[in-house]
Amino acid sequence: QVQLVESGGGLVQAGDSLRLSCAASGRSFSRYPMAWFRQALGKERAFVAHINWVGSTAYADSVKGRFTISRDNAENTMTLQMNSLKPEDTAVYYCASRYSNDFTTSPSDYAIWGQGTQVTVSS
């Protein structure tokens, strides 16, 4: 069974850092892209960052320069280093993957999702 499991969320203050992790199991994702999305209360799920299988990255404008996505294909894991956190970063963060290497920021294009991890940034 293919599974993604996020960890590392929590409650922090504005300006702090957090590191989210996503562990994949059930198959290797080393040849497929992986991404982070987030969903704030009452809002739609939104793209945060993307990394393809060779390590090329893309970010939402709102997190560019503050967040860094990376992956370890040997360990089948992905991380999101979040620095200079702001209250507007508060959301449930999800990792996702898909069986195509086309770059896309649409949640509907991703077939595999984790259960999410809550990130809360207080002001």
Q: Say how far apart CA 47 and CA 41 lie, in whole Å.
A: 15
Could you give the count of Cα atoms lying within 13 Å of 32 in the half-sphere of its Cβ? Answer: 16
3-state secondary structure string across the chain: CCEEEEECCEEEECCCCEEEEEEEECCCCCCCCEEEEEECCCCCCEEEEEECCCCCEEECCCCCCCEEEEEECCCCEEEEEECCCCHHHCEEEEEEECCCCCCCCCHHHCCEECCCEEEEEEC
pLDDT of residue 1: 76
Q: Using the predicted structure, report yes or no on whether residue 27 has a pLDDT greater than 90.
A: no
Which tens digits make up the pLDDT trace of 49-104? 999 989 999 999 999 999 999 999 999 999 999 999 999 999 999 999 999 888 99
